[in-house]
Amino acid sequence: MQVRKSLERKGKRMATRTIKVGALARVEGEGGMLVKIKGDKVHEVQLNIYEPPRFFEAFLRGRSYSEPPDITARICGICPVAYQMSACNAIEDAFGVKVTPVIRDLRRLLYCGEWIQSHVLHIYMLHAPDFLGYESSVHLAADFPDIVNRGLQLKKVGNEIMELVGGRAVHPINVRLGGFYKAPSKAQMLKLKERLEWALVAAKETIDWVAGFNFPDFEHNYEYVAMRHPDTYAIHEGRLVSDAGLNIAEKDYETIFEEQHVAHSNALHSVIKTRGNYFVGPQARYSLNFDKLSPLAQDYALRSGLGKTCKNPFKSILVRAVETLYAVEEAIRIIGAYEEPEKAFVDVTPNAGTGYGWSEAPRGMLYHRYTFDDAGIIQDCTIIPPTSQNQKSIEGDLHHFVSDRLDLPKEDLQWQCEQAIRNYDPCISCATHFLKLELEHL
């Protein structure tokens, strides 16, 4: 608050009016968002990224093919599995590795754990307070401890999946190329199933709870991009499709998409070369794959008020709740069919070449590419996280959002902008460090 008052005083001296709010505590990581307003029009919106995500790409060059799953998992404390799975997919692609069906299912189960953990964190702790008029989940917990405790328990079920399959809840250590170091026993899995049966009820209650929120009337119309699989709701395998007709394999990603430098940010903006910005994440996944959700998830989605597509970013919280229900169901299905494999991994032999991989992180598609020499030493790599892909669209959304609300008192506008940014659950820690929001009236 002191900073804000200081800047307001500074703004008067400069014949401008500047509003600065503190760090957006409920956005993972921190970065900067600047909105410049001139007269009755939004002049400029900039999502500022202070740190490039390129440290890890440089760090990996010269290292062994076996290291990226563990190293890239450290990029983000919220979605380590996404980094591990995209890395495994890309490296196994380079070496022609095909995993067994049981390893495929274990990977999907681990990923379900991460989706549950990440989505529930965002729904209960970061986003729901916005809709209920609370400053934070701490304030929400004071009035509704049972609801927040339900969120904590549901998140814990995601942690428990990650502990069992991944070895621990944060930065799983059981993942290796070709599969896992050790597969869980059938008995361990069945014990987890009891917890998931409770989680199924809690996930349904979560949808019913969130469906009762009031959602601002706002829609965007960006090209949605997400993975799609012929047999299932795509999580860790599939092609990349869009609602504008895109349908490509991993190796074609960089011929269709490109990263661009922008003056106000150290990070790169990802665009479709021929069409510009696009959008990845839960809403894109849901809108492109509604038919692949389970009947139960479809039923709950429709009765919650969602259509078969969702273009209102404020309803992303509802989509996350539906995906949480699906992830719990999917985990139960996988555990029910599980038989402990004799071997938890397939052998991997390196060769020279380039591999491409992607998977659906909680916040959207995460792309990895690696090039190796004969000994499997990394010569080059590229990692494109979902928040980098969405940066340009987030700026566009905020531009339109603020334009329609310029008559609001600045405190209200500031609050609504913060809420709008949280719609995208930006995992800034993947791409940057600290996030602040500034509204500047020129």
Partner 1 sequence: MRAIIGLGNAFRGDDAVGLFVAEQLEGLSSAELTVLCHEGEPLDLLELWLGFDEVTLIDASRLGIQEGTLMTYDLLAQDFKATAQDASSHAFSLTNALKLGKTLDRFPAKLWLYTIEGSSFQLGSELSLSVKESAQTLIRILSQYESQSTKASL
| Binding footprint of partner 1 on the chain (CB under 8 A) | 25-26, 28-30, 51, 55-56, 59, 74, 77-78, 121, 125-126, 136-138, 141-142, 145, 148-149, 152, 155-156, 159, 169-171, 428-429, 433-434
What minimum distance in Å lies between the beta carbon of 422 and partner 1? Answer: 12
Taking the least distance from each CB to partner 1, the nearer of 78 and 335 is 78
Q: Any residues with CB less than 8 A from the CB of 187 and at least 6 apart, and which?
A: none
Packing angle of the helix pair 101-120, 316-337 (nearest 10 deg): 150
What minimum distance in Å lies between the beta carbon of 122 and partner 1? Answer: 9
Taking the least distance from each CB to partner 1, the nearer of 69 and 238 is 69
Gyration radius (Cα) of the chain, Å: 22
What minimum distance in Å lies between the beta carbon of 141 and partner 1? Answer: 5
Taking the least distance from each CB to partner 1, the nearer of 53 and 178 is 53
Q: Which of 118, 107, 258, 105 is nearest to 176 (CA)?
A: 107
Q: How far apart are CA 336 and CA 339, in angstroms?
A: 9
What minimum distance in Å lies between the beta carbon of 373 and partner 1? Answer: 24
Q: Buried b vs exposed e over 156-175: b needs ≥16 C-beta within 10 Å?
A: bbbbbbbbbbbbebebbebb
What minimum distance in Å lies between the beta carbon of 242 and partner 1? Answer: 29
Amino acid at 259: E
Taking the least distance from each CB to partner 1, the nearer of 416 and 429 is 429
Taking the least distance from each CB to partner 1, the nearer of 74 and 410 is 74
What minimum distance in Å lies between the beta carbon of 106 and partner 1? Answer: 21
Taking the least distance from each CB to partner 1, the nearer of 81 and 348 is 81
Provide the token pair at 10: 């500074």
Taking the least distance from each CB to partner 1, the nearer of 132 and 152 is 152
Do 398 and 37 meet the contact criterion of CB atoms below 8 Å apart?
Answer: no
Do 84 and 179 meet the contact criterion of CB atoms below 8 Å apart?
Answer: no
Task: Please name the residue ranges forming H helices in 212-349.
Answer: 253-256, 282-289, 295-303, 316-337
What minimum distance in Å lies between the beta carbon of 339 and partner 1? Answer: 30
Q: Rounded to the nearest 10 degrees, how much is the dihedral formed by the CA atoms of 303, 308, 309, 310?
A: 0
